[in-house]
Amino acid sequence: MPKPRVAVVTGASAGVGRATSIAFARHGFDVALIARGEAGLKGVARDVEAVGRRPLVLAADVADPEALDEAANRVEAELGPIDVWVNNAMTTAFAPFWDIGPTDFKRAVEVTFLGQVWGTMAALKRMRPRDRGSIVNVGSALSFVGIPLQSAYCSSKFACRGFFESVRAELLHEGSHVHLSMVHLPAVNTPQFDWCKTALDKHPQPVPPIYQPEVPAKAVLDVALDGRREKIVGTWNKMLVFVDSLFRGVGNHYAATAAWGAQLTDQSVDPDRPANLHHPVDEDRDFGAHGTFDRRAGGVLDPSFLRSFPRTVVLFAQAVRANLSERARSGRSMLDDPPPNTQQP
C-alpha cells in the first residue's frame, strides 16, 4: 500500500486554512496543522480525522522562524517527508494607516509576510535536497491593488508577491523540481472579520463579492497538485487586476471611492470584541472555517452583489475618469510614453 502524502498548512485552525486542511485530507493527505489557538487546532484535527486521515497538531507562531523549523522536523519525524507546504496564516489591523501603531503594523507584517518567508524557508530546507515538493503561498487580489483601511495587510501581500517572484526565479535558475506557486484570494467569508484588530466603530466585512472558504481551498489544492505558477480566484478580481495592469491607478481611484464604506457594516463594534493580532482568540472557542456572512457568500452570483452591480459599474467608470484627469494634469495622456529626461548633466 502506498505511503500517504503529507501536507502542511499554516493558519489551519480557521478560515481558508481550515477549509484547505480538510480539502487536502479528503484528497488523501495526512495533514500537519500549524496555528496558535488550541480549540481551533483541536477542531480542525477532528475534521481531518473525520475523513479518515491523520492530523498532526503543531501549536506555533509563524512569525517565529525557529518554531516553524522545529514544526517541520516534527512533521517529517511523525508523518513523513513533506510533499506540500501551504503558507496561509495571516492577521491584520483594520484602520486608516495613521491610526495604526508601529507595534501593530509590525506584527501584521511579521505574520502575514514573514510567516510566508519562514514557512518557505522551512519547506525548501527539506524539499530541495530531495528535488521534489510543492509550496503554495496564499496571496490576495490586494497584492495587486491596495485598498484603504488595510495598509498593513496590503503591504504584506504585495511583499509576498515580490518574495514569490524572486524565489521562484532562483528555483528555475537551478533547474529545481520543487514547485513554488501562489493563489490570490478574493473576499472570503472567514472569522478574520470577527477577530482581527480594528480601530473603527463599525464591524468590518469583506468587500463583495464574497466567497465561501471552500472555493479558494479547492484552488490551493489544485495548484499544489498541478504545479501551475499562480491563480487568481474570482471573476471580479481577475477583471480588476487586469484593468489595473492596463491602466495603472484605476484600481486606486476605485478603491478610494468604493472600498472604504464597503468594508464596514452598519453594526457597531462590540467593546469586548476579541483581537487575535498578538494573541490567539480561538484557545477556548472553535470558530470553524466560516465567518458570519454565509447568507452573502455567493461570489458574483450573490443577489446583494448583483443588485449593487450597476452602482459598481458607475463607480468604476468614475475611477477611470478620475485616473484620466490625474494623468491629464500630469501633462500627458494615459497612453503616452513617459516624457524624456531633459535635465542637463
Residue 16 phi/psi, 5-degree rounding, is -65, -35
Residue 211 annotated among the catalytic residues of the structure: no
How many C-alpha atoms does 87 have within 13 Å on its Cβ side? 33
Q: How far apart are CA 92 and CA 113, in angstroms?
A: 11
Q: Find the angle CA(70)-CA(75)-CA(80) to the nearest 5 degrees.
A: 140
Please report, as a single letter, which amino acid is at residue 20: T
Q: What values do phi and psi take at 255, rounded to 5?
A: -65, -40
3-state DSSP percent of the chain in helix, strand and coil, to 5: 50, 15, 35
Cα(273)–Cα(267) distance, rounded to whole angstroms? 12
- Out of 153, 197, 211, 254, the active site residue is 153
Query: Cell 483541536 sits at which residue?
Result: 42
DSSP state of 206: P
Task: Give the three-state DSSP class for 122.
Answer: helix
Helix (H, G, I), strand (E, B) or coil at 277: coil
- DSSP character for 231? E
**Is residue 9 within 8 Å of residue 86, measured between CB atoms?**
yes
The one catalytic residue in 3, 42, 106, 157 is 157
Contact of 32 with 6, CB cutoff 8 Å: yes
| DSSP summary character for residue 80 | -
Q: Contact at 8 Å (CB) between 33 and 58?
A: yes
Residue 321: CB partners within 8 Å, gap ≥ 6? none
CA-based R_g, the chain, Å: 21
Specify whether the CB–CB gap between 55 and 33 falls below 8 A. Answer: yes
**Among all residues, which ones are annotated catalytic?**
153, 157
